[in-house]
């Protein structure tokens, strides 16, 4: 029997099988993680992102990473969008952390997105708004936190 596991990449709702998979980000589309519901029980939460440059020529577009928080599950309720800042709600998405590539193939950038605001649901969103045909980002992400 093949067992699928959720691996470090939480960018899209995909069950990986090996644990070494990455997601390529290079298309100006927002890549949104599955809803992270365990954050309701955690304090001092952080998402750890490993972004590796994949370069044939040039520099990958800037990598934008942010957290969206909501009291509602985005999969089951349109209220999610009304609750986050994009929908005019009280819980605004975090300002993007922006990582700029160096243009050197294989360079690894480590980003940490911490947050302390209490919310039952969170999502990680990653985007590169500038498309570069000859370069991209290979992304993995982990969520971490502690209980008190």
Question: What are the backbone dihedrals phi and psi of residue 62, each rounded to the nearest 5 degrees, phi first?
Answer: -60, 145
Interval 137-147: pLDDT, tens: 998 887 777 76
pLDDT of residue 86: 53
Residue 74 · residue 80 · CB < 8 Å: yes
Interval 5-43: pLDDT, tens: 434 345 544 555 666 667 788 888 777 777 777 677 777
Quote the CA–CA distance of 59 and 57 in Å, as a whole number: 7
Instruction: Output the average pLDDT for the chain.
Output: 76
pTM of the model: 0.77
Question: How does DSSP assign 94-125, residue by residue?
Answer: PPPEEE---S-TT-EEEEEEEE----SEEEEE
How many CA atoms are closer than 13 Å to the CA of 35, on its beta-carbon side?
16
């Amino acid at each position: 029997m093949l067992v699928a596991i959720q691996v470090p990449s939480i960018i899209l709702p995909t069950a990986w099988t090996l644990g070494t998979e990455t997601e390529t980000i290079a298309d100006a589309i927002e890549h949104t993680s599955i809803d992270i519901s365990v954050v309701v029980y955690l304090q001092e939460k952080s998402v750890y992102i490993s972004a590796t440059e994949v370069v044939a020529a040039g520099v990958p577009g800037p990598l934008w990473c942010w957290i969206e928080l909501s009291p509602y599950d985005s999969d089951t309720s349109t209220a999610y969008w009304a609750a986050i800042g994009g929908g005019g709600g009280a819980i605004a998405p975090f300002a993007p952390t922006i990582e700029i590539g160096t243009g050197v193939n294989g360079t690894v950038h480590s980003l940490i997105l911490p947050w302390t605001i209490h919310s039952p649901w969170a999502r990680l969103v990653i985007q590169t708004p500038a498309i570069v045909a000859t370069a991209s980002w290979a992304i993995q992400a982990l969520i971490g936190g502690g209980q008190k």
